[in-house]
Chains A and B, each alone.
Chain A
């Protein structure tokens, strides 16, 4: 039975929470949202739950059909021993101490990240860390080449909003705390910079 959920007009993270609940309760559901951020977030949560998401675009709306694959993506209780490597950036500097030094170090870190292996799977930016992903950041080029290499970059939407940088984002995807928390909790390794 297909369950239909109308999440139009709802503010983030409401659509994602409804989607998550629907995925848990039904094998097949359709979520209707009215903006691109909600569409992307709903698709992401579907994928992280091992489901397939197909988007149909209507007049100012997106219908996302989510079907369970029963694939390996289903989250299970317990701490995964192996899993994606996640690097989190709570600041636009590396380490605490001198800010100027911290700025140089973070630039060096991103350059090195492009050169070394293994690479992390996901980078998460929150609080002042989001400044690294916006217009004028010195590490944008590095972030773009990491994205090209397949890394996922999640940027805290609340934080962008707080710093008035929502329109300035130039790398990664605007994300929410549920996504961020879930990505960290399902990681094999979380590295905090």
Chain B
């Protein structure tokens, strides 16, 4: 959507996982956006968290041991 920025998305096994992750991101001040899981990834009506590639390390650290991550992949 925004040019000049590459995004990753974190996928979760459940919607509540995505909600929990959003809260943790907010607390840590990691810029993010909650978006519907792109159609090419899944046809489920799921949500995922989008964040900048440069935040990968901080994102993983924030979620580690707190929320189950299904996958982190490029958008």
Interface residues of chain A, those whose CB is within 8 Å of chain B, are: 100-101, 104-105, 107-108, 111-112, 114-115, 138, 141, 145
- CB pair A114–B34 under 8 Å, yes or no, is no
B59 touches A (CB below 8 Å): no
Which residues on B sit within 8 Å (CB–CB) of A101? 15, 19
Nearest chain A CB to B8 CB, angstrom units: 16
Given A100, A111, A115, A145, which contacts B33 in the complex, CB threshold below 8 Å?
Answer: A111
A100 with B19: in contact, given A108-B47, A114-B1 (CB under 8 Å)?
A: yes
Complex Cα–Cα for A108 and B33 (A): 9
- CB pair A104–B35 under 8 Å, yes or no, is no
Which residues on B sit within 8 Å (CB–CB) of A114? 1
A104 with B1: in contact, given A111-B33, A112-B36 (CB under 8 Å)?
A: no
Residue count of chain B within 8 Å CB distance of chain A: 10
The residue in chain A whose Cβ has the minimal distance to the Cβ of B50 is A111
- CB pair A104–B33 under 8 Å, yes or no, is no
Complex Cα–Cα for A138 and B23 (A): 13
Q: Is the interface of A mostly helix, strand, loop or mixed?
A: helix
Interface residues of chain B, those whose CB is within 8 Å of chain A, are: 1, 15, 18-19, 22, 33-36, 47
- CB pair B35–A111 under 8 Å, yes or no, is yes
Nearest chain B CB to A142 CB, angstrom units: 9
The residue in chain A whose Cβ has the minimal distance to the Cβ of B36 is A108
Besides the contacts A107-B33, A112-B35, what 16 more A-B pairs have beta carbons closer than 8 Å? A100-B19, A101-B15, A101-B19, A104-B18, A104-B19, A104-B22, A107-B34, A107-B35, A108-B35, A108-B36, A108-B47, A111-B35, A112-B36, A114-B1, A115-B1, A138-B34
Which residues on A sit within 8 Å (CB–CB) of B33? 107, 111, 141
- CB pair A108–B34 under 8 Å, yes or no, is yes
Which residues on B sit within 8 Å (CB–CB) of A105? 47
Nearest chain A CB to B42 CB, angstrom units: 13
The residue in chain B whose Cβ has the minimal distance to the Cβ of A139 is B33
A to B CB contacts below 8 Å, 24 in the list: A100-B19, A101-B15, A101-B19, A104-B18, A104-B19, A104-B22, A104-B34, A104-B47, A105-B47, A107-B33, A107-B34, A107-B35, A108-B34, A108-B35, A108-B36, A108-B47, A111-B35, A111-B36, A112-B35, A112-B36, A114-B1, A115-B1, A138-B34, A145-B1
Complex Cα–Cα for A111 and B39 (A): 13
Complex Cα–Cα for A111 and B36 (A): 8
Which residues on A sit within 8 Å (CB–CB) of B15? 101, 104
